[in-house]
Amino acid sequence: MRTFNWAILGPGHIARKFAEDLKLVPGARLHAVASRSLERAQAFAAEFGAAHAVGSYEELVAVPGIDAVYVATPHSEHYAHARLCLNGGLPVLCEKAFTQNAQQAQELIALARAKGVFLMEAFWSRFFPAIIAALAEVRAGRIGEVRHLVADFGFITDYKPEGRLFNPALAGGSLLDIGVYPLFISKLFLGTPATVRAVATPAPTGVDQNCAMALAYASGATATLFSTIAATTENRCVLYGTLGQLQLSGRFHAATGVQLRLTGAAPEEIPYPISGYGYHFEAAHVQECLAQGLTESPLLPLSFSLELMELLDAVRAQIGLRYPGE
């Protein structure tokens, strides 16, 4: 079996989970770690058995033998760091939100295609077995025509003006960090909306603390979505159709099953248990794509990520949120 040498750019909290889950992916090996702090990179590399540790992101491009780079820096840095790797000819798995805005996403996609280098947004939810199964159920018409979708994602976090969730310079706020999940799931099941409406409550730094979204589709379906970093919510997603309803079990973005409540039938729950954190699904998919010589994912194409960024831009326009430099 071929060995895939992964590199991590930005060894933070999510990167640690990703590194743990790489142990569950056949053929995967953490090969290199890049941080602005050499000491931090070395500690992370030692913990996970990586052969290389570098103290700048630019140095990573020169490390030999890298098959793919996982970019896990703050949202505001995704564009620059993914571009750095693509220019170096390195395949990129870039954390969500893909970029800060749609223009940056367009530029990354154009660069990847011009270079013929693989690029994918690290929207791990897309590869969870429960979400794949739920999508198949809906497309097969199990709940009839979908009329409405509801999804929320919220947690309480301490207010730290300089932290990544509240700092405008780091593209902070609930929307790009967790509001992207309800938008993602609505787009996955319902497509691109014809109408987007949004309201938000700003934090003292100006970024959105709460964000509520209402979407309408040409099919006649609607969606209500919500994100917050000021309250803990159920983190659930339910689709209501003409023949019944479907709910993703557990936290919808990392779903562990599918619940069906069809008219005139007993409730049904199909479990899809996961091992690890769930990041191994996307890593395994990237390896499959690279093994086939693909430059983008058939399950999460770049067009989807671009359209999702356009939706995020539309919501930000509605709530009046702009980041420095825009």
CATH of the domain at 257: 3.30.360.10
**Rounded average pLDDT over 190-194:** 98
Res 137 pLDDT > 90: yes
pLDDT band at 302, cuts 50/70/90?
Answer: very high
Task: Look over the chain and give the mean of its residue pLDDT values, rounded to a whole number.
Answer: 98
For residues 45 and 111, state if they share a domain. Answer: yes
Give the pLDDT score at 326: 87
Question: For the chain, how many residues are written?
Answer: 326
Helix (H, G, I), strand (E, B) or coil at 197: strand
* Structure letter (DSSP) for residue 270: E
Tell me how far apart the alpha carbons of residues 98 and 273 are, in angstroms, rounded to a whole number. Answer: 27
* 118 shares its domain with 71: yes
State how far the Cα of 182 lies from the Cα of 284, in Å rounded to an integer. 24
Within-domain flag for 289: no
**Interval 246-256 mean pLDDT:** 98
Q: Which of 255, 273, 291 finishes a domain?
A: 273
What are the angstrom distances between the C-alpha of 223 and each of 140, 217, 220?
Answer: 20, 9, 10
Q: For residue 166, is pLDDT > 90?
A: yes
pTM of the model: 0.96
| For residues 144-151, average pLDDT | 99
- Which of left, alpha, beta for 95 (phi over 0: left; psi -120 to 50: alpha)? beta
Pairing of β 146-154 and β 237-241: antiparallel
The active-site residue, picked from 23, 96, 115, 160, is: 96
23 is catalytic: no
pLDDT of res. 163? 93
pLDDT at 325: 84
pLDDT exceeds cutoff 90 at 12: yes
For residue 38, being part of any structural domain is answered with: yes
Same domain, 113 and 150: no
pLDDT of residue 264: 96
How many domains would you assign to the chain?
2
